[in-house]
Amino acid sequence: MIIAAANEDLANISNVLVYSAMAVYTLAFLAHIAEWVLGSRSKVGRTAAALTATSSSAAAPPAVRVRGGQTAAGSGGTAVLDKPEIVTRGAAGARNVPDGPGAAAGDEKGDLYGRIAVSLTTLAFLLEAGGVIARALSVERAPWGNMYEFSLTFSTVATGTYLALLLAGKNVRWMGLPLVTTVLLDLGLATTWLYTESDQLVPALDSYWLWIHVSTAIFCGAVFYIGAVATVLYLVRDGYEAKVARGEKPGAFVRSVMERLPAAATFDKLAYRVNAAVFPLWTFTIIAGAIWAGDAWGRYWGWDAKEVWSFITWVAYAAYLHARATVGWKGRKASYIALIAFACWLFNYYGVNLFVNSLHSYAGV
């Protein structure tokens, strides 16, 4: 009786921590908005103007550099920049554009709001992680027995991965706004429609393979999400760079946003690296699931809906990595495959669990 009461208290504490994390994530969302809105646009405007001027001439020499106080040669005109450095197109069909100054756009006020946003995101991450731990203690098992618990852990790992990249000195603060937005949507869905009371697992799930198989699936999904965000932004930024290279002049708002972001090549490189790095772990996830199925059901593979879509996801990401290594399928074409692969992962999680009869459905919503 005492243990049951203690577990109920822990479950309530978990709920309080999760809702507190949502409140702090909301503040972080507003701070990220302020970072983008209040960041200086003056340097951004000069950057965009220099890019347009220098790229409008096909005769521009390779690796012409434009720095503060220096003249941009090779386009018949001049453009003066403070920072960042601009490298013009070196050859027809190729772009060599540096990363933008970031969401703050080099402005002290914008940077301050950005630091506040990261601090709030860190606090929200700690609160949410505490909620996941309290949930695990309340049920005395791994907190991944249903979709509610999976969603909590997924958003926690995604945020933790983002903060780890920042801690490692990677230029990924631009990801803060889409990440926090997604996390809020994920937590809203989890607490509103997916919430499940703390309970013990059915015998088939009560295995040490739960710690191995599901934990790797959650981590893979979080990293695949980061790769998908980078892929979407690559497509957007690449389209912008192509317009500038053709001599078109996008609107002031579009220039303000686009020129703060990393170059398309940077997005492309990040997306490829994270997807390639986590793909072997996704392979292990499927193998671990098959071994667990052998222990629980007496067969390693039975073409269950979850198994089929896990394999489809694996094939899609394998096709993406193969496309990246094949001449003619780099860039936008390969990016479309990456987005299809992540869509397969999302359907494998939400679609199969909610709309398809599966042996995995006994875990509950």
- Angle 255-257-261 from CA coordinates, rounded to 5°: 110
Confidence of residue 59 (pLDDT cuts 50, 70, 90): very low
> Could you tell me which residue, 55 or 204, shows the higher pLDDT?
204
Round to whole Å and give the CA distance between 61 and 153: 51
Cα→Cα distances 15→10, 128, 153, 214, Å: 9, 9, 13, 22
What letter would DSSP give residue 71?
Answer: -
Segment 292-316 shows an average pLDDT of 89
Instruction: Dig out the tokens for 192 from the structure.
Output: 């509103």
pLDDT over 60 at 61, yes or no: no
pLDDT at residue 324, as a whole number: 87
Q: Containing H/E element for 66?
A: strand 65-66
Give me the half-sphere count of Cα atoms (radius 13 Å) on the Cβ side of residue 223.
21
Q: Please tell me the pTM assigned to this model.
A: 0.81
pLDDT over 80 at 48, yes or no: no
Round to whole Å and give the CA distance between 233 and 259: 12
Mean pLDDT of the chain: 82
Helical pair 264-297 and 332-346, crossing angle rounded to 10 deg: 30
Segment 32-51 shows an average pLDDT of 66
pLDDT over 80 at 91, yes or no: no
**Left, alpha or beta for 105 (phi > 0: left; psi -120 to 50: alpha)?**
left
Instruction: Dig out the tokens for 294 from the structure.
Output: 């052998």
What share of the chain in percent tops pLDDT 90? 47
Round to whole Å and give the CA distance between 177 and 181: 6
Segment 275-284 shows an average pLDDT of 96
Confidence of residue 69 (pLDDT cuts 50, 70, 90): very low
pLDDT at residue 209, as a whole number: 84
SS3 content of the chain, % helix, strand, coil (to 5): 70, 0, 30
Confidence of residue 85 (pLDDT cuts 50, 70, 90): very low
pLDDT over 80 at 148, yes or no: yes
pLDDT over 90 at 296, yes or no: no
Segment 266-270 shows an average pLDDT of 91
Question: What's phi and psi for 96, nearest 5 deg?
Answer: -130, 80
